[in-house]
Structure 1
Amino acid sequence: YPAVYRPRSVFFEKITTIQENITQPVLLLAPDGIPLRALYFMEKQPNHIWRINGCFLVALEGK
């Protein structure tokens, strides 16, 4: 996941719901210059703090 931990650039998109999961989509420019979208599924903890519950990378076709 080099695009996630060493991106050239990052752009946070509007929070959405995917399959009943609160999701933070993030546009990333990978170190090799390939654009990707990371989907961070979020989960509210018992102490009311939001934490990442998973991350999926999606290729941006035709961009």
Structure 2
Amino acid sequence: MPKEMNFRPHMQLGYIIQLDQIYKIKISIFIADKLTVILLKNHLLVIVSILKEIIGIY
């Protein structure tokens, strides 16, 4: 009986750690996606503003 009691929490802890790692990976991918979108939008804004300046000059 004591062996089982010691074994159970260890397994649960391992499972929780595994889930934690999966969530961290998912969250980091999600954040990377968001950053990429934000960076792309910023690039587009910069390109558009440069084009507007060029068109304004000509």
Q: TM range, normalised to the smaller chain?
A: under 0.3
TM-score (structure 1 length as normaliser): 0.15
TM-score (structure 2 length as normaliser): 0.16
Higher helix share: 2
The higher relative CO (CA closer than 8 Å, separation ≥ 6) is in 1
Higher strand share: 1
Q: Give the greater-gyration-radius structure (CA).
A: 2
